Amino acid sequence: MAEQLSLCRDVDIDHDAVYKYILVQVRTRDKAHNKTVVRGYQWAPFHDKIMEKLSSEVKELALECECIGGGKIKHCSTERTIQVYGKSMVCSVTPHYPVNP
């Protein structure tokens, strides 16, 4: 079952846009192994739409998932920056910690 976790990408986000994201714990059904993944897409008007997509993907891998937070991401690849901020009304509030470059 732990091998299934490796088939689930750690990060899948869009580039060069501002969009909603979720932070999700993906785990084996026996709860023996888990990892945290990030998903963020410009096409998603709401956080729950991203969760629906990820839920169907992990179900196919015989895994479970739980949203542990969400907010917004501003990604600018030319400046090599990612700003993470905000909160989700559906998911819990993700603690955002400032990082100095």
- Which residues are part of a known binding site for substrate? 20
Domains of the chain with bracketed CATH: 2-85 (3.50.20.20)
- Residue 24 has a pLDDT of 93
pTM of the shown model: 0.86
Whether 1 has a pLDDT exceeding 80, the answer reads no
- Which residues are part of a known binding site? 20
pLDDT tens sequence across 31-76: 999 999 999 999 999 999 999 999 999 999 999 999 998 999 999 9
For the question of residue 47 being annotated catalytic, the response is yes
pLDDT tens sequence across 66-95: 999 899 999 999 999 999 888 887 776 666
Please report which residue ranges of 8-46 form alpha helices under DSSP H.
none
Strands (E), 6-77: 11-13, 17-28, 34-41, 63-76
b/e per residue, 47-60, with b = 16+ CB within 10 A? Answer: bbebbeebbebbee
